[in-house]
């Protein structure tokens, strides 16, 4: 498919979120709802009608206040002193252990023992070779949280030795955490990390309560098997907020999982189990939609689970009146029916009685059912996904907690475009949801990076979409660099990588503090490509990417995102934006389009800035500073001609911008 061709299928409409449907609400307001893999210069990106959840970047400089808050009740685990001694000696230490054992907090605590300098989070995709070659700032601390090990890493111990020597020689400190066994490494200590004593953690967080010891003992006596450190922290927060122990403990994930496990252990009708399976991927859908899909699931499982088995001698007569509804939604079921309505119209939506039941139902299904069952579920999802994309994505994101490889297998053909645009969009939504989970976000990044780097053209576009949205907000540096590589390899991508990079910029203006990194990346690449010997095709790709970013609109406000960011960031971004505008304005093939976008951006200033004239003047000065001698007069003449052709009345803001450009160049010309 060429960039200009429309896809055969369009994604399904975003479903109306049912009350309490956190995942669907998240996706309904999520960023960058691409309509098709086509060129879309000036496309609109951003959030939906709901207020977007702010996602915290998992790379970049850590906020000192956040670090202090995270460590305010820190309790060191058993091997803390061993890790600290290794860090003091070698300036580098590795921590490995399961999810939820507190490795990241441990890394921050260890670094604060040896330095008061800034702390930085590096990408989990960073390779050992890159760690051995990068620059480190003296006195700073660096964390690689849940690093994803290379598949075929050679000379690992030698590389670790190089990392150790480089970090130590440059006076910095580095802690690398991972969930995988580190293998044979002698150069750098690799400490097996375990969670701290739960009783000490609880008492530390209940400090100030007169009954802290008694409450802690009560909680620990009732603590369920499988209770996690994060669960304990949540309970402590509830208790500090005034919740009683009796109210807090039943809300624990471990307690809820035990209830679901008990339901599965009971003798129940087969249809009850299939209903729970179907609801795990259709939670909150209309009742008729859900029940019709349940019937399809029965047929698919009959094909995969019973395939090859001999037919029974006597088939039972079909039941035309089965009254299954009363059984499906009975009081002892995991499922209930909610009445939701708008405009006086009542709608019935099956839901899990407790939203977290879905996760544990999937855990039990995965633990109990074999491959033929999941083959049937996968085939069924292929059918229901185009109409219920976001609900299916939410279910797969939950399944990823227990069977990430299975989710990977289901998404693979969708990412490849085998199920049309709806499949690619759904695969993207799954990775966006996983980006909210600190444990699964690195795996989502690995998957998107694999699609973007080594996939088919359709897979590369799916990876680009994933990196342009929530996953990019979680890992902005990684996303920006990988999207830039796709910009340079646009012929290998079904869609428009330039637009994906623009989508990342809009995402970052809304979701994190890192929007400037897209502008500075383009600015830096532009400087390199301006040097003699640069590949002309790469320079053209950079110009096109810059124009895509500068022309991108926010989907809700309808305003130019770069202009809105300029108004919010002030002089901090004016110089960079001036150089980017100058690049597209000087380039003759893009000059007309750039003038159109700039004129529209100036119109937006009236709605975005308290003092539009001041911002227009600031931008004009920044553009002027980036223009070579003589170019300012040509630009003013072309802009005036453009205004005369396309506008009845000239804008005062255009005059302010052009006056600023002319003023700076007149001053330069007057110098001796």
Average pLDDT, the chain: 85
Q: Would you place residue 575 in the very low, low, confident or very high pLDDT band (cuts 50, 70, 90)?
A: very high
pTM here is: 0.85
Question: What integer pLDDT is reported at residue 71 of this predicted model?
Answer: 92
Percentage of the chain beyond pLDDT 90 is 57
Question: What integer pLDDT is reported at residue 137 of this predicted model?
Answer: 97
Q: Give the tens place of pLDDT for each residue, 353-407.
A: 999 999 999 999 999 999 999 999 999 999 999 999 999 999 999 999 999 999 9
User: What DSSP line would sit under 304-336, residue for residue?
Assistant: HHSTTPPPPSSPPPP-S---HHHHHT-TTSSEE
Residue 517 pLDDT > 70: yes
How many degrees, rounded to 5, is the angle at CA 19 between CA 13 and CA 24? Answer: 40
Q: Would you place residue 584 in the very low, low, confident or very high pLDDT band (cuts 50, 70, 90)?
A: very high
Pick from 129-133, 314-318, 386-390: least confident: 314-318
Q: Pick the more confident residue, 205 or 42.
A: 205
Pick from 66-80, 459-473, 575-589, 648-662: least confident: 648-662
Q: Would you place residue 244 in the very low, low, confident or very high pLDDT band (cuts 50, 70, 90)?
A: confident
Q: How far apart are the first and last CA of the chain?
A: 58
- For residues 430-434, give the mean pLDDT: 96
User: What DSSP line would sit under 248-304, residue for residue?
Assistant: HGGGSHHHHHHHHHHHHHS---HHHHHHHHHHHHHTT--HHHHHHHHHHHHHHHHHH
Question: What integer pLDDT is reported at residue 11 of this predicted model?
Answer: 31
Cα distances (Å, whole numbers) of residue 295 to 395, 437, 464, 664: 18, 33, 36, 72
Q: Pick the more confident residue, 323 or 411.
A: 411
Q: Would you place residue 151 in the very low, low, confident or very high pLDDT band (cuts 50, 70, 90)?
A: low
Question: What integer pLDDT is reported at residue 42 of this predicted model?
Answer: 41
Helix (H) or strand (E) holding 144: strand 141-144
Instruction: In whole angstroms, give the CA distance from residue 322 to residue 318.
Output: 10
3-state secondary structure of 117: coil
Instruction: In whole angstroms, give the CA distance from residue 163 to residue 460.
Output: 32
Q: Give the tens place of pLDDT for each residue, 169-188.
A: 999 999 999 988 887 889 99
Instruction: In whole angstroms, give the CA distance from residue 37 to residue 417.
Output: 11
What token pair was written down for 303?
Answer: 């094909």
What token pair was written down for 525?
Answer: 């690449």
Pick from 13-22, 310-319, 533-542, 644-653: least confident: 13-22
User: What DSSP line would sit under 541-559, residue for residue?
Assistant: HHHHHHHHHHH-EETTT-S
Q: Give the tens place of pLDDT for each residue, 610-660.
A: 999 999 999 999 999 999 888 888 888 888 888 888 776 667 888 888 888
Pick from 358-362, 475-479, 500-504, 644-648: least confident: 644-648
Question: What integer pLDDT is reported at residue 243 of this predicted model?
Answer: 84
Q: Would you place residue 464 in the very low, low, confident or very high pLDDT band (cuts 50, 70, 90)?
A: very high
Instruction: In whole angstroms, give the CA distance from residue 508 to residue 476.
Output: 8
Contact assessment for residue 347 and residue 284, using Cβ atoms and an 8 Å cutoff: no
**Tokens 């809105």 belong to which residue?**
564
Question: What integer pLDDT is reported at residue 328 of this predicted model?
Answer: 79
Percentage of the chain beyond pLDDT 70 is 85
| Among the listed residues 270, 229, 462, 286, the one whose alpha carbon sits nearest the alpha carbon of residue 368 | 270
- For residues 288-302, give the mean pLDDT: 93
Contact assessment for residue 8 and residue 517, using Cβ atoms and an 8 Å cutoff: no
What token pair was written down for 541?
Answer: 């790709």
For the chain, domains (ranges, CATH) are: 76-192 (3.40.50), 559-672 (no CATH)
- For residues 331-351, give the mean pLDDT: 79
Q: What is the DSSP letter of 351?
A: E
Q: Give the tens place of pLDDT for each residue, 39-65.
A: 334 434 443 334 445 677 888 899 999
- For residues 505-516, give the mean pLDDT: 87
Question: What integer pLDDT is reported at residue 667 of this predicted model?
Answer: 53
> How many other CB atoms are found less than 10 A from the CB of residue 106?
28
Q: Give the tens place of pLDDT for each residue, 58-101.
A: 888 999 999 998 898 899 999 999 999 999 999 999 999 988 78
Cα distances (Å, whole numbers) of residue 80 to 86, 104, 594: 10, 13, 57
Q: Would you place residue 31 in the very low, low, confident or very high pLDDT band (cuts 50, 70, 90)?
A: very low
Q: Pick the more confident residue, 338 or 33.
A: 338
Question: What integer pLDDT is reported at residue 342 of this predicted model?
Answer: 57
What pairs with residue 92 in β-bridges? 174
3-state secondary structure of 452: helix
- For residues 574-584, give the mean pLDDT: 95
What token pair was written down for 529?
Answer: 């490509």
Q: Would you place residue 215 in the very low, low, confident or very high pLDDT band (cuts 50, 70, 90)?
A: confident
3-state secondary structure of 434: helix
């Amino acid at each position: 498919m060429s960039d200009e061709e429309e896809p055969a299928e369009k994604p399904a409409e975003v479903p109306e979120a049912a009350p309490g449907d956190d995942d669907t609400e998240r996706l309904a307001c999520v960023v960058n709802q691409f309509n098709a893999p086509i060129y879309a210069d000036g496309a609109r990106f951003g959030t939906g009608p709901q207020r977007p959840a702010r996602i915290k970047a998992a790379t970049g400089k850590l906020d000192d206040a956040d670090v202090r808050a995270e460590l305010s009740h820190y309790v060191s685990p058993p091997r803390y002193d061993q890790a600290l001694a290794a860090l003091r000696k070698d300036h580098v230490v590795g921590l490995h252990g399961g999810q939820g054992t507190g490795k990241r907090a441990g890394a921050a605590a260890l670094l604060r023992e040896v330095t008061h300098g800034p702390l930085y989070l590096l990408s989990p995709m960073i390779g050992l070779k890159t760690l051995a070659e990068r620059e480190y700032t003296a006195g700073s601390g660096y964390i690689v949280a849940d690093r994803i090990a290379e598949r075929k890493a050679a000379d690992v111990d030698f590389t670790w030795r190089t990392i150790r020597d480089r970090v130590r020689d440059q006076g910095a400190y580095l802690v690398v955490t991972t969930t995988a066994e580190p293998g044979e490494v002698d150069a750098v200590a690799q400490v097996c990390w375990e969670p701290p004593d739960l009783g000490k953690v609880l008492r530390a967080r209940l400090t100030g309560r007169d009954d802290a010891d008694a409450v802690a003992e009560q909680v620990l006596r009732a603590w369920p098997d499988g209770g996690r450190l994060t669960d304990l922290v949540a309970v402590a927060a509830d208790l500090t907020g005034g919740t009683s122990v009796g109210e807090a403990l039943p809300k624990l994930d471990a307690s809820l999982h035990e209830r679901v496990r008990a339901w599965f252990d009971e003798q129940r009708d087969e249809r009850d189990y299939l209903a729970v399976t179907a609801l795990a991927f259709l939670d909150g859908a209309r009742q008729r939609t859900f029940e019709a899909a349940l019937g399809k699931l029965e047929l698919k499982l009959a094909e995969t689970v019973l395939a090859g088995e001999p037919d029974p001698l006597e088939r039972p007569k079909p039941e035309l009146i089965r009254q299954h509804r009363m059984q499906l939604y009975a009081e002892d079921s995991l499922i209930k029916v909610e009445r939701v309505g708008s405009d006086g119209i009542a709608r019935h939506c099956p839901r899990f009685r407790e939203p977290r039941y879905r996760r544990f139902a999937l855990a039990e299904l995965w633990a109990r059912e074999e491959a033929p069952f999941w083959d049937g579920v996968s085939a069924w999802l292929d059918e229901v996904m185009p109409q219920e994309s976001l609900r299916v994505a939410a279910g797969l994101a939950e399944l990823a907690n227990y069977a990430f490889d299975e989710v990977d297998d289901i998404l693979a053909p969708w990412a490849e475009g085998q199920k049309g645009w709806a499949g690619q969009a759904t695969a993207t939504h799954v990775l966006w949801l996983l980006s909210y989970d600190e444990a699964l976000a690195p795996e989502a990044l690995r998957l998107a990076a694999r699609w973007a780097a080594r996939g088919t053209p359709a897979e590369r576009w799916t990876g680009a979409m994933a990196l342009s949205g929530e996953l990019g907000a979680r890992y902005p540096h990684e996303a920006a660099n990988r999207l830039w590589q796709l910009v340079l390899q646009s012929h290998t991508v079904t869609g428009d990588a330039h637009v994906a990079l623009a989508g990342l910029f809009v995402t970052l203006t809304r979701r994190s503090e890192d929007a400037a990194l897209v502008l500075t990346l383009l600015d830096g690449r532009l400087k390199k490509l301006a040097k003699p010997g640069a590949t002309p095709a790469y320079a053209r790709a950079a110009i096109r990417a810059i124009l895509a970013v500068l022309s991108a609109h926010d989907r809700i406000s309808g305003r130019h995102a770069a202009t809105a960011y300029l108004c919010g960031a002030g002089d901090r971004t004016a110089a960079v934006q001036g150089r980017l505008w100058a690049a597209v304005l000087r380039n003759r093939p893009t000059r007309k389009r750039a003038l159109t976008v700039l004129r529209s951006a100036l119109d937006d200033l009236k709605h975005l800035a308290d003092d539009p004239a001041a911002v227009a003047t600031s931008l004009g000065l920044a553009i002027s500073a980036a223009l070579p001698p003589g170019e300012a007069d040509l630009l003013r003449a072309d802009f005036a001609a453009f205004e005369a052709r396309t506008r009845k009345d000239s804008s005062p803001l255009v005059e302010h911008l052009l006056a600023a450009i002319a003023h700076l160049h007149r001053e330069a010309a007057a110098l001796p």
